[in-house]
């Protein structure tokens, strides 16, 4: 699957990418033979509970990425403010262009265009500009897909092992444990649903925004 392609994983905030495509990342890290670069644009400090260290989500993201097979050296967490990405749209675009020149990914993973969260939309819109000659897939975050339904166009098969690694990664986010979408039952249920739709046992689904096949 996508053998030899280096992959850029865009997470508007820490934990988005683990929720949206953590199983796929576990599989890619296992059988792709390529580097995965994890770029989170915000550590969402404003969303932390009182009394927690400001770097809590950065540390949790490093642990989560390691659980998926992504080393610390390939994880980068920026500090754009939550729900303020639109104010820094140009800076975010320039950040992505720098990554493109340095990393030259063959595939970019980003939130789908159905995602209504304002920060997620900015990241995806700027990714489409920065990586206009690169394959781009959009992962789903169902709780943010309200005004426009997510329409799966690509399904990636997962094993129980991949989903267990995804759940392990999500459990690293102890500061977010109370959020309903962190429940392992949700992860299993969505993977089963996408599996039933695609004739697979378990799967994650994606929007195909652009596919470039050399």
> What confidence tens digit (pLDDT) does each residue in 108-131 have?
999 999 999 999 999 999 999 999
What is the pLDDT at residue 47?
79
Residue 160 lies in a domain: yes
Residue 102 lies in a domain: yes
What is the pLDDT at residue 31?
82
Distance from the first to the final alpha carbon of the chain:
15
Q: What is the per-residue pLDDT across 76-120, written as a single tens digit (0 to 9) for each?
A: 999 999 999 999 999 999 999 999 999 999 999 999 999 999 999
Q: Which residues pair with 208 in a beta bridge?
A: 137
Residue 70 lies in a domain: yes
What is the pLDDT at residue 204?
98
Residue 66 lies in a domain: yes
Q: pLDDT category, 48, cuts 50, 70, 90? A: confident
pLDDT of 152 above 90: yes
What global pTM score does this model have? 0.95
Q: Residue 33 belongs to what domain range?
A: 7-210
Q: pLDDT category, 46, cuts 50, 70, 90? A: confident
| Cα(184)–Cα(128) distance, integer angstroms | 31
What is the pLDDT at residue 32?
67
Contact 110, 127 (CB under 8 A): yes
3-state secondary structure (DSSP) of residue 154:
strand
Give the mean model confidence (pLDDT) for residues 143-151: 93
What is the pLDDT at residue 205?
98
Q: pLDDT category, 33, cuts 50, 70, 90? A: confident
Give the chain's domain count.
Answer: 1
| Closest CA relative to residue 61, chosen from 170, 167, 162, 186 | 170
Q: How many CB atoms sit inside 10 A of residue 47's CB?
A: 14
What is the pLDDT at residue 213?
87
pLDDT of 2 above 70: no
Residue 1 lies in a domain: no
113 burial (CB, 10 Å; 0-12 / 13-18 / 19+) is middle
Contact 117, 106 (CB under 8 A): no
Residue 2 lies in a domain: no
pLDDT of 4 above 80: no
Q: Average model confidence (pLDDT) for the chain?
A: 95
Report the percent of the chain where pLDDT is more than 90.
88
Residue 62 lies in a domain: yes
CATH code of residue 124: 3.40.50.10320
Helices 118-130 and 89-103, interaxial angle, to 10°?
40
What is the pLDDT at residue 8?
97
| Closest CA relative to residue 202, chosen from 148, 168, 166, 170 | 166
| Cα(90)–Cα(192) distance, integer angstroms | 39
For residues 49 and 121, which has the higher predicted lDDT (pLDDT)?
121
Residue 68 lies in a domain: yes
What is the pLDDT at residue 3?
57
| Cα(120)–Cα(112) distance, integer angstroms | 8
What is the pLDDT at residue 214?
82
């Amino acid at each position: 699957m996508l053998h030899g392609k280096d992959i850029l994983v865009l997470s508007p905030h820490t934990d988005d990418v683990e929720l949206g495509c953590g199983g796929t990342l576990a599989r890619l890290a296992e059988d792709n033979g390529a580097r995965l670069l994890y770029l989170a644009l915000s550590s969402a400090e404003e969303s932390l509970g009182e009394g927690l260290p400001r770097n809590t989500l950065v540390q949790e993201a490093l642990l989560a990425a390691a659980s998926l097979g992504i080393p610390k050296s390939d994880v980068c967490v920026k500090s754009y403010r939550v729900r303020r990405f639109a104010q820094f749209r140009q800076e975010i675009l320039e950040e992505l262009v720098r990554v493109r020149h340095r990393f030259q990914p063959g595939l970019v993973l980003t939130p789908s265009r159905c995602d209504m969260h304002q920060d997620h939309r900015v990241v995806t819109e700027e990714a489409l500009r920065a990586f206009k000659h690169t394959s781009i897939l959009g992962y789903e975050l169902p709780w943010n897909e309200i005004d426009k339904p997510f329409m799966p166009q690509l399904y990636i098969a997962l094993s129980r092992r991949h989903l267990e690694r995804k759940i392990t990664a999500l459990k690293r986010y102890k500061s977010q444990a109370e959020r309903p979408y962190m429940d392992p039952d949700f992860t299993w249920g969505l993977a089963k649903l996408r599996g039933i739709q695609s004739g697979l046992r378990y799967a994650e689904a994606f929007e195909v925004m652009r596919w470039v096949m050399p």
